[in-house]
Amino acid sequence: MSDQEDIDALAAEYVLGTLSPAERTAVGARRRRERDLDAAIEAWEMRLAPLAETAPPVEPSPGVLAGIEARIARGADHGTVVDLQRRVARWRRLAIAASAAAACLVVAFGLREVTRAPQPVSYVGVFQKDDQSPAFLLTVDLETRMLSIRIVSADRPADKTYQLWIASEQSGGVPQSLGLIEDPTQITRATLASYDPLIVRRATFGVSLEPVGGSPTGRPTGPALHAKLIPAPR
């Protein structure tokens, strides 16, 4: 988790009221010194404010007040008015705490909807040369549509080169070249800007062994490995 994600999570807990009194005091002091934390808290307050309005008002049953007044009156006859007043104050505090807890539940359910995990934008493809050894590792960022591929354990003959391909609905399943993979010590990058993200997600990627300079036919001519994209672990 990044520092910004830590700050955002702390701000959310502060606004939700899930911190201990000591932690809340510490965060309150920090927000006066740290502009990022203060801004995150204000953002969560604005984000969650509409959720509080969805909590319907709760009215006490009609007999509650009359019952309390009757008990106070009986207590007065026995000289225990002060004790009953203390109990009433405690009941009020408990009622306030219960209302706050109910509000937190409303906010928590709303927060779960607001902060649903977004769909992953990063995917990986593994080109296996056997059951144990990946030959190439491919990563794709669907948001930027940038592709990166590196050689893991593939051996390239001196008079050959590797070429990367994509076969998708957009090309009618015909492999299209994405460039050569020439330097085994470097990550090779390519853009998929001309492809729709959904098409990229469903595409099949291939790496073929070609003559130096790439395929002379515009299609794979040598042995090839294939891979499909899967969501990248977080």
Residue-wise pLDDT tens digits, 89-104:
555 554 554 555 555 5
pLDDT (tens place) for every residue of the chain, 234 residues total:
456 667 877 887 788 777 788 888 999 999 999 999 999 888 888 766 655 555 556 666 667 667 777 776 665 555 555 555 555 555 555 455 455 555 555 555 555 544 555 555 688 888 987 766 788 989 999 888 899 998 888 888 888 999 999 998 888 889 999 999 988 888 899 999 999 988 999 999 999 999 999 999 999 998 999 999 988 755
pTM: 0.49
Residue-wise pLDDT tens digits, 151-179:
888 888 888 999 999 998 888 889 999 99
CA atoms within 13 A on the CB side of 210: 22
Say if residues 38 and 11 touch (Cβ distance below 8 Å): no
Say which CATH architecture domain 122-231 belongs to: Sandwich (2.60)
Can you point out the beta strands (E) in the chain? Answer: 122-128, 134-141, 146-151, 160-167, 176-181, 188-191, 204-211, 224-228, 230-231
Residue-wise pLDDT tens digits, 49-60:
655 555 556 666
